[in-house]
Amino acid sequence: MLSLMDEWGPERVVCVSDTRTGMRGVLAFANTARGMGKGGMRMSPAVTVAEVARLARVMTYKWAGVDLFFGGAKAGIAAARRAARGVSVVPDFVANAGGVVAAGFAMDARYSAFRPDPGAVFAAVSAKMRENTAKVLTAAHAQGTTTHEAAVVLAQERVRAAMELKGRWRR
């Protein structure tokens, strides 16, 4: 971690843990010279302080690169402890993907004569979310892995299938 510290940051790193739930987390502010720290959250069973600090630095460079006045920050939560206790948690990139799914409908509507009714979009998004959640939970149980690992494998299988169709996958 000390090797990551230089004139660019991180300015502050906060580590937290909750003994009741076993959750551990880290928040890193890389450099706030251009504005308040802004970034995202990494939720992974193996997230590290160094990884979060590096990602916060990348956020600093991203905001400066597009000339927006924010600094870089990133949060990380290690979530494997619940899996060890037999509690299933659907990964963030599956559970909170409703906005991405809805955006897909919006793109279809933008580039075609298809204008979906908002109720139909909500129903389709809900169905897609339920379907993906069920697939992840079923796969995790069948494979004996965490839900995060099962979701990553499912996503990789889907991307690999698309790459194979386009002749972009090396066998």
Domain extents in the chain? 2-84, 92-165
Who has greater pLDDT, 78 or 81?
Answer: 78
Who has greater pLDDT, 121 or 162?
Answer: 162
Who has greater pLDDT, 40 or 95?
Answer: 40
Token representation of residue 46: 């193996």
Q: How far, in Å, CA of 136 to CA of 130, rounded?
A: 10
**pTM, whole model, 2 decimals?**
0.54
Question: Exposure of 66 by Cβ count < 10 A (0-12 exposed, 13-18 middle, 19+ buried)?
Answer: exposed
Is residue 118's pLDDT more than 90?
no
Read off the pLDDT band of 13 (50, 70, 90): very high
> For the domain bounded by 2-84, which CATH number is listed?
3.40.50.10860
